Structure formats: C-alpha cells, structure tokens
Structure 1
Amino acid sequence: MAEECNHDCSSCGTTCGADTRPKDLHEAPHELSDIRHVIAVVSGKGGVGKSLVTGLLSVAMSRKGKHVGIMDADITGPSIPKMFGVSGEVRGSEKGAYPVTTAGGIDIVSMNLLLDDDTDPVVWRGPIISGVVKQFWHDFIWEDVDYMFVDMPPGTGDVPLTVMQSIKLDGIIIVTSPQELVSMIVEKAVKMAEAMKVPILGLVENMSYFECPDCGKRHAIYGQSHIEEIAKEYNLDVLGRIPIQPALAAECDAGQIETTEADYLDEATAKLLALDE
C-alpha cells in the first residue's frame, strides 16, 4: 500500500490507481469465425509424432460428425498438408482468407499452403514466426468449427508461448515416446502449461511398441514404456498408445490419413467429446 493510499488496495485490485489485476492477453479470432473448442497438441522435443497425433485426432473427431479445423503452427516444419493430401493456395476475399478443405471436410491452414514451392525453407526469426501464427488465428475465417487442433512446433519457445498467451485453449495434449529421458521433457511441457494456466487433457505415447505381423508378439523397439509412471507422477490421464505401424506411416506419406482405420485414440476422442457436455 502506498503512503498516499487511504484504502485497502487488495479490495479493488489496484495500487493507488495502478491496475494490478491479471491482464487477459487472449486475442479474438476473425469476426466471422465461429470456433467452439481449441486444443493444442504439444511435445517437449521433436520427432515424437505430434503431427501424426494431430492428424489422427482430427480424423477421429470428423468421423464423430464434428467439423474440424487444423492450424499448423509448426511454421518452419509444416507436415499437415502432405499428410492430408492438400495443396494449392488458400482462397482470399475482401473479408479475409479461408482455410483449404480436405476431401473429408477438415479445414487446414499451414505455411506450406502459402508458399510457391512447399519445399522452400522458412528462414525467419521467432517474432516473425509468432506473428504468422497470430495471423492464422485472426486473419482467417474459420467457419462453424467444432474442434480446432493446433499442431505446435516442439519445445517451449516463441510459438508455444504465443499460442498459449494469445488463444484461449480448452486444453493441451502432450505427445511422448517410450524413452526414459522423455520424463524430463514432459515435465518441461507440464510446467509451461501450468505457468500459462492451460489445462492438460492428458498424454499420448507414440512409437509405443511394434507388433510382429507373423506371431503377434509386441516388441518395445524404443525401450519399455514409462508413460504410466509419468502420468501418475503428474496426475495425468493416458489417452492412447500408438504403435509403430508401417501401414499408417504409408498412408500419411501418401496423403491419405483420412482413409486410415487406426483407432488408437478412442480414449482421447471420448475426452474431447466430453468438452461438449
């Protein structure tokens, strides 16, 4: 309390006229957008299959009759368009730009849909990349989207921070792999989410095992899973385990993820559907 103050500052959230209440930094989407739920898919490190999980969740929710959108926030390493077999430029108008729609009706915005050649590198510094992610949010018209999935770049850098600060998230899903060191990586993602006050919906383990097509035995190619230990330590739900599945990888490479019969994320789908209840 300042010397000139003649009242209890804690009762009004100010200190002699200076507003000390927490600021809401969330930005509104485009005025014509209608987005009900936003889920970010994150990983503490690269190469664990974050984009695969984003794709599988999007396909699963679309099959449940939900209109799904994907914001590919991995600006320097976008893979969502290839996975879904979409290409070409986004459609624009005086009111704003529109996502590209897949054969199955999923709306996608990705840096690779804005480049003349999808193999051109994006050699930008962090603040510019973060600005592009914000444009994906408020310059594009996301029409009647029930669930938007944000495919985040790995780590806890500029873009994840921008998304968590700028977009009101219903929660995040953390993607892991079986290696023991992943516990430390998951902890970083958990602590970032807690610091940003973003709910953690649960964990998904990718490359969890390989099932021999001849004998049916499961092999822990990348070591024994630690996901149950991690989940217990941080009081999180395990929402699915995705095996090493060559057929699924081939579908993604061919741009045909929407034709997959993989159903490894039923628990995650159920938890997302519960957001509507």
Structure 2
Amino acid sequence: MSSVPDNAPTHCPGTQSEDAGKASACAGCPNQNICASGVSAGPDPALAEIRRRLAGVRHRVLVLSGKGGVGKSTVTSLLARALAARSPDINVGILDADICGPSQPRVQGAAGEQVHRSGSGWSPVYVSDNLCVMSIGFLLASADDAVIWRGPKKNGMIKQFLSEVDWGDLDYLLIDTPPGTSDEHLSVVQYLLGAGGAGDAGDAAGGGATGALLVTTPQELSLLDVRKELAFCRKLRLRVLGVVENMAAFVCPKCEVVSSLFPAATGGAARMCAEGGARWLGALPLEPALARACDAGEDFLRDHPASATAAALAPIVDQIIAECEGPPS
C-alpha cells in the first residue's frame, strides 16, 4: 500500500508507488526527485530548519491571485504598511516569492539594496524599524537581469528564503506569490505545512501557514481564475482568510468622481464569495496617486492618509487581523 504524506497534493501516488515522482501530480513537488529515485530519505532536513527560522513568526499569510495584473503586489505592500503603522510594536515582514518577476524591492523603495549574510543567515532589508523585505531582486546584479529558471531551481530558492533568512520575531509574514497555482505556490505551502507538522495549518510554534488572502478584480475574467485559487487552497487544506476586490472603481484625482472601469457583470467578488463560501473582505479603488507611489517606492498610506484607498483599506486590515488572531471562522 502506498504511503501518502498528510500534506501531499491531491492525487499524490505515494512514496511506495511505481509512479512515485513520475506521475503528472508529481510535477513541481519539492520531493519529486527523492520519490523518483526510490530512496527513502525520510523527512526533508530543511523542514526542521524552516520550523526553527519561523519559530518567532506568529502569522504567515500567503497573498494569492489567479491572474496577473490584479494588483496583488500592491495589495501586499499596502497591507504590510498598514499593519506596521498600527503600532511600532507590530513587526511585519514581506517575502517576495515571485522569483521571475520580483516587484517588492521597488514598491517598498528598497531597489538597489543588498542582502547581507552573517553567521545567523541572510538578513532581510529593513524599509522601516518594523517592516522588512526579502526578495530575489536584492540578489541580482541588475534590476534588468532576467531570472530564467526551471521549477526545481525556483523551489530551491524558496527553500532558502524560508530556511536561511534570519526573520527574527515577526507578528506577520506576508508572502507575495506570482499568479497561478504552480511551482512556487506548491513549494511555499508544502514547506510551511511540512515544517508545521502533519495537518497543522497554523502552528504558532513555528512552521505552518495561517492562511491565504486572495486578490481579484471585479470582472468575470479575473473571477474565473480566483475560483481556481479557492480550489487550490481547499485541495491543500490551506485556510482562506478572505478575498479582496482590487481596482473596483476609479477615483478621478481632479473631480473625485468614482467610475467603474471593470464592470462586475456577474456580481463581482462579493457574489462569488457568497456562492463559494469565502469571506469577502472589501473593495479597494484605483487611484493614480497609488500607482505613482508604487513606482517611486513611497509610503502611500503615510503620504495620503485621507485617500479613498486608505479609508477602504482600514476595515479590510481589521478583518484580516481578526481572522489571524481569532479562531477559524
């Protein structure tokens, strides 16, 4: 009888199967080569190190989107800034897991910074006293360098980010992922859940994953892919904290008239959440000033505290904190 790990993806053939490491379900799995070799190597030794590294991280939140261009990295940045601004005692970290398209260094105003390595591991780049960032963008010789890697090398980089970065004590670690449900997503979830113990999705003692935050835009084209993200989370037993609808309306910077650029023909994210059993956290507008702030690496919430985005973001952050701190709803 095949042995299937508790945190294995759906349709995993098991380590004792003849198809171990060769089946289509094995593609992108961090343990694919081990299973295919037929050698029982036991648990990945990196899992213990990941657990140790994340022992001081209270909440680990993955930010997911099914489609590119929905503003996932912008929402991650806004959420990190908002959490850090709540109190100087709240420590926040961002892990930029988008290996081929890292954007957090620029969005956080840290482009050109270098990562320092010491006996305790890689030190993330601090953009403020209680907000730090780690990204492959800090490891490239030039911002124009292309990362042309296959899945296994991406998985290895993500493993390094989780097992070799000195995250220290954090209240929130936000993991900014690329669009889709591919190698990077499987690696992050499996490493976190594997380090947290079988079936342990939110182990506060290290490892585990608190949950996922899904980002979408109102139009059906984006909602179709978000439904796939919901299915991805259910298959991997990853708790969904909620869904944020980004770019729900355009706020004119001159007349402040609100216009709908992406009509929600089918009811938008709110209706999708009602039908799919997910929590709708709220909607964020599209503001030109926010786009300029991201390009310039400026703190939009600090510079525009009375903006429509700041007003809409506050209750979303309240709900995310409540979901992370309280029992699963």
Normalised by the length of structure 2, the TM-score is 0.74
Match among 119, 124, 132 for residue 107 of structure 1 = 132
The answer as to 2:113 corresponding to 1:67 is no
Could you list the runs of 5+ residues in structure 2 that have no partner in the other structure?
Answer: 9-42, 193-207
The answer as to 2:61 corresponding to 1:39 is yes
Percent identity of equivalent pairs: 36
Work out which structure has the larger RCO, using CA pairs closer than 8 Å and 6 or more positions apart in sequence: 1
Q: 230-239 or 106-115, which moves further after superposition?
A: 230-239
Could you list the runs of 5+ residues in structure 1 that have no partner in the other structure?
Answer: 1-14
Q: 189-198 or 124-133, which moves further after superposition?
A: 124-133
Mapping of residues 1-277 of structure 1, within 5 Å: 22=6, 27-28=47-48, 29=50, 31=52, 33=54, 34-65=56-87, 66-86=90-110, 87-103=112-128, 105-167=130-192, 168-224=208-264, 226-257=268-299, 259-260=302-303, 261=305, 262-263=309-310, 264-274=312-322, 275-277=324-326
Judged with a 3 Å threshold, the aligned counterparts in structure 2 of structure 1 residues 213 and 161 are, in CA distance, closer, same or farther, namely: same
What whole-Å deviation, never above 9, does each CA across 1:118-162 have from its counterpart, x for those lacking one? 221101111111110111011111011110000001001000111
Amino acid at match of 2:275: E
- Greater Cα radius of gyration, structure 1 or 2: 1
Q: 262-271 or 65-74, which moves further after superposition?
A: 262-271
Aligned positions, number: 261
Contact 1:178/1:222 (CA < 8 Å) preserved in 2? yes
Q: What CA distance in whole angstroms lies between the structure 1 residues aligned with 2:255 and 2:109?
A: 34
Q: What CA distance in whole angstroms lies between the structure 2 residues aligned with 1:144 and 1:37?
A: 11
Amino acid at match of 2:297: G
What whole-Å deviation, never above 9, does each CA across 1:191-247 have from its counterpart, x for those lacking one? 000000001011111111112345443211122361111111112222121111001
Q: What CA distance in whole angstroms lies between the structure 2 residues aligned with 1:71 and 1:160?
A: 13
What's the counterpart of residue 10 of structure 1?
Answer: none
More helix by share: 2
Judged with a 3 Å threshold, the aligned counterparts in structure 2 of structure 1 residues 20 and 171 are, in CA distance, closer, same or farther, namely: closer
Judged with a 3 Å threshold, the aligned counterparts in structure 2 of structure 1 residues 93 and 30 are, in CA distance, closer, same or farther, namely: farther
Normalised by the length of structure 1, the TM-score is 0.87
What's the counterpart of residue 24 of structure 2?
Answer: none
Amino acid at match of 2:102: P
Judged with a 3 Å threshold, the aligned counterparts in structure 2 of structure 1 residues 59 and 21 are, in CA distance, closer, same or farther, namely: closer
